[in-house]
Amino acid sequence: MSNDDIHLLTLAQLAQRIQRKEVSPVEVTEAYLDRIDSLDFKFNSFITVSRKEALQAAGEAEKEIAQGNYRGPMHGIPLAVKDQFWTKGIRTTGGSRILADFVPNEDATVISKLKQAGAVILGKTTLTEFAMGGGIERFGPPRNPWNLDKRTGGSSGGSGAATAAFLCATSLGEDTGGSIRWPATWCGLVGHRPSWGRVSRYGVMTGVWSMDTVGPISRTVEDAAITLTAIAGQDSKDPYTWNTPVPDYRKALDGGIKGLRVGLIREQMTPEMTDVETRDAVLKATTVLEEMGAIVEEVSLPLTRHSVELSLVPLLVEPAMNHSGWIRERLADYGHNNRVGLLTGSILPAAAYYKAQKLRTMLRQQVLDAFDSYDVLITPTSGKAAQPIMDDQVITSKENAVGIRYLHTRIFNLASSPAISVPCGFSSDGLPIGLQIGGLPGADGIIMKVAHSYEQSSDWHNRRPPNI
């Protein structure tokens, strides 16, 4: 394989070749950097490309491996990280004008862990302003490799675009309401939201502390498992991380799913929540799961129908608290929709927040109770395939302020559960469709096993976008 084709290797394949010294980390890194230089003008996936730092890290990895000091499957692997994570000596904008020139003096814990694993950070990817909603992308919208006129999904859209365009071997995103799984489904990728507390958030710009999670956006489930294993673990700087050993999630993929109990959430399959093409693709996926020996049944979880609305209050109030100083001093530097959201969150009464938390508790309990009968729950990741990029998207009514009702990811954020999105088909317009698989808190390995079993039964993950 020539250097021109290195990018076509999965992370797992690339790691094997690096370990065997069939290709060097420097060669791999240069190949990806050259692709970024020549192609990213189409996708706008990167805010900052850290060429100097990447080549230095690749050189160090190459020396270590040559000396027999191989650290594991992330050693020498080039990846991209969302510009929400502190990176020492490299600007970290949060996708905002306010932090346009901010350069942290330390790394986020996940960045430190990646460096400890020997990974090579190519650069920082595009995101919505401070990873909030509103469609505000201060550095321009990332473009979907499957159709350049379509969105990638937020807020980790740059990581989705970069991974789908083969500009990195894997990437990191952050997921508060679906910001890993949404870009994954619209870009034809695997996106894993880990169990809350499994991965440190230290050095990650805060959205909603009880919902924020960091996880991988990758081209295969195996690649996501390798990436998650590298970044997971307890961190004294994040007191909410779990004091439990980190399994090798790659090994958790082994074995079949015969006898596994799968609950298809009925409310997420209704016409007002999911279009016909997406529904059909998900139903075909359930047939595949059944053919592999899983037991699939419909389950009714009524409150999940309202997950977008139930999550809206904390998604307004907590960012408003986090940004209170800048709201007073630099309100004009925020995009229009985020100004509206932050001001709204600043004046919402305590009673509204209290009620929202009570309703969240009820939904969470409904979801957790379902796991008494089922090993995993499944839904479409999004009820629609990728939507058009639109200029000057602004809130003009109470209806469009509520948010995206067809996004089914927030169920598991509210439940503090892990969830993964895996490709399960394409729309008639050639746009990817994703299957979402959720599990009990701590059941990351189980949902990855289901996703991997399904993935290996299809060729969806082998298809390439036309614009690469």
Residue 145 structure tokens:
């490799």
Catalytic annotation on 195?
no
Longest dimension (CA), the chain: 63
Q: One of 24, 45, 50, 82 is an active-site residue; which one?
A: 82
Positive or negative, the CA dihedral 358, 359, 364, 370 is positive
Catalytic annotation on 397?
no
Residue 375 structure tokens:
């090993």
Q: HEC string of the chain?
A: CCHHHHHHCCHHHHHHHHHCCCCCHHHHHHHHHHHHHHHHHHHCCEEEECHHHHHHHHHHHHHHHHCCCCCCCCCCCEEEEECCECECCECCCCCCCCCCCCCCCCCCHHHHHHHHCCCEEEEEECCCHHHCCCCCCCCCCCCECCECCECCCCCCHHHHHHHHCCCCCEEEEEECCCCCHHHHHHCCCEEEECCCCCECCCCECCCCCCCCEEEEEECCHHHHHHHHHHHECCECCECCCCCCCCCCCCHHHCCCCCCCEEEEEHHHHCCCCCCHHHHHHHHHHHHHHHHCCCEEEEECCHHHHHHHHHHHHHHHHHHHHHCHHHHHHHHHHCCHHHHHHHHHHHHCCHHHHHHHHHHHHHHHHHHHHHCCCCCEEEEECECCCCCECCCCCCCCCHHHHCCCCCECCHHHHHCCCCEEEEEEEECCCCCEEEEEEECCCCCHHHHHHHHHHHHHCCCHHHCCCCCC
Q: One of 96, 112, 155, 156 is an active-site residue; which one?
A: 155
**CA 23 to each of CA 7, 427, 437: distance values in angstroms, whole numbers, following the listed order:** 12, 37, 35
How many Cβ atoms sit within 10 Å of the Cβ of residue 21? Answer: 11
Q: One of 24, 179, 200, 311 is an active-site residue; which one?
A: 179
Place of tokens 């999630």: 249
Catalytic annotation on 82?
yes
Residues known to be catalytic: 82, 155, 179
